[in-house]
Every structure is written in C-alpha cells, then in structure tokens.
Amino acid sequence: MRKMTAAAALAAAFTLSNPAHAADNAGKLQIKLLGTAVLPNGEITEVNVDVVPLPAGTQTEANDNYVPTVAIEYFFTDNISVETICCVTQHDVDGTTGLPGAELVADTKIIPATFTLKYHVDAGAIKPYVGAGPTYFIFVDEQPGAAAVGLGADSFRLNDKFGLALQAGVDVPIGESGLAVSLDAKKYFLETSAHWFAGGTEVIATRHKLDPWVLSAGVGFSF
C-alpha cells in the first residue's frame, strides 16, 4: 500500500510542477501487450467448517504465476481514460504451517475482470498515471489438491468475488508512431471463500485473503 501511495504522490507532484499539455489523446484507443507477474497472498483468515479436522495452526499460501496480458484503454480526454485487462492466471494453494507443503488446491484458473479509471500526467518524455476501479474475480475449473484428496475431499469450489484495484504506472512514448513502452503495477484487495466437499458434504470451509500484486511490462500502441 505504501508503494501505491508513493506512486500517487509522485503523480500529484508532476501535476503541480508540470501542467498537462495537450497530447491529442482524446478519442484514442491504446492496446498494450504485456508480460505479467501475478503475486497473490492466499493466507487463511477464517475457518468456518472443519469436519476433518485440520491440524492446529494450519496456514496456506498461493503460488505466483507469470502470464501474457492484453490491456485495452480508451481516452475520454488527453488525461482521463478507462482501461480493462484480459488474462487468465492459474494457481495452486499449499500449506505452510500445520500441513507444510501439502497441496490443498490444484490448478485453479482465475479471470480477474477489472476496470480502472486512470488519470495521466503530461510530464514531458514520460506519461505517468494513477488509477482505481472495481474488479470481479471469476474462478474456473477449481480442483482439490492432492493433499485434500488424501484427506477425503472429492470436489472443491471457490466463491467468485468483487474487490478493488489500485493502479500506478508509466508510458514512455517511442517517437511519434504511437508506440510506447509501458510499466504497470496494480494492487488488488479482495477475499474469497474456499469449500471442500466429500460425497456432497462440506468438510472444510475457509476464507482466504488474496490481495495480489499484479506487475506488468510491455509495449502499447495508440491509434
């Protein structure tokens, strides 16, 4: 959170010291092709059902993943735009304490439907921005991990959830062609509930903090 606050303060400082100049972006569309690191948390914040039971002090973490991402952005004015991203990321959830190294969730796919409203600063050669907006995490093809299956689980479900995304980054134009190098950081804030079942009966239900950092770098093209 301190990183996002610092980025926002930097953009505000640019705004005060460098009034925005017309960049002729109004009405333009920008497409970005990015390489993205998705770095989630995954720790348990509540245990609501525990028939198994889990060992005392059981805690979990989700693994990181690296995926290609497409961002589509429309400029309402030279400085105001809205952006959405398209990607699918896949994660396991493993035990860290109580069941250290045990795979509890296997290869769950996430579609992080996200829209951010962005403010861009004309700072000369670089174009820093900040943004914020809603996100909705859609979980697909959830599977119990090997350790959960060993405990008797035969099916698994994660609840789709709304959350908030904060964003900061910079675009560095390359000449006058509309091409730019882009660096972007998003911090998501959301939790989800996980449910393991055995023979149709819920045997474990936990709540997890996801709160991933999503860090991207790549190229964009405006037209």
Residue 6 Rama label (left phi>0; alpha psi -120 to 50; beta): alpha
Distant-in-sequence, close-in-space partners of 37: CB < 8 Å, separation ≥ 6? 64, 65, 66, 213, 214, 215, 216
Measured between alpha carbons, how far is 47 from 32 in angstroms, rounded to an integer?
Answer: 40
The answer to whether the beta carbons of residues 137 and 163 sit under 8 Å apart is yes
pTM of the full structure: 0.86
Measured between alpha carbons, how far is 209 from 46 in angstroms, rounded to an integer?
Answer: 10
Per domain, the residue ranges of the chain are 2-222
**C-alpha distances out from residue 192 to 4, 38, 107, 204, Å:** 23, 17, 16, 14
Q: The tokens 């309402």 sit on which residue?
A: 76
Measured between alpha carbons, how far is 77 from 204 in angstroms, rounded to an integer?
Answer: 50
Q: Is the pLDDT of residue 7 over 80?
A: no
| Lowest pLDDT segment from 13-22, 25-34, 69-78, 142-151 | 13-22
Coil vs helix vs strand at 107: strand
| pLDDT at residue number 2 | 40
Distant-in-sequence, close-in-space partners of 22: CB < 8 Å, separation ≥ 6? 78
| pLDDT tens by residue, 18-69 | 443 445 788 899 999 999 999 999 999 999 999 999 999 999 999 999 999 9
Domain 2-222 in CATH 1.10.760.10: no
Residue 137: DSSP 8-state: E
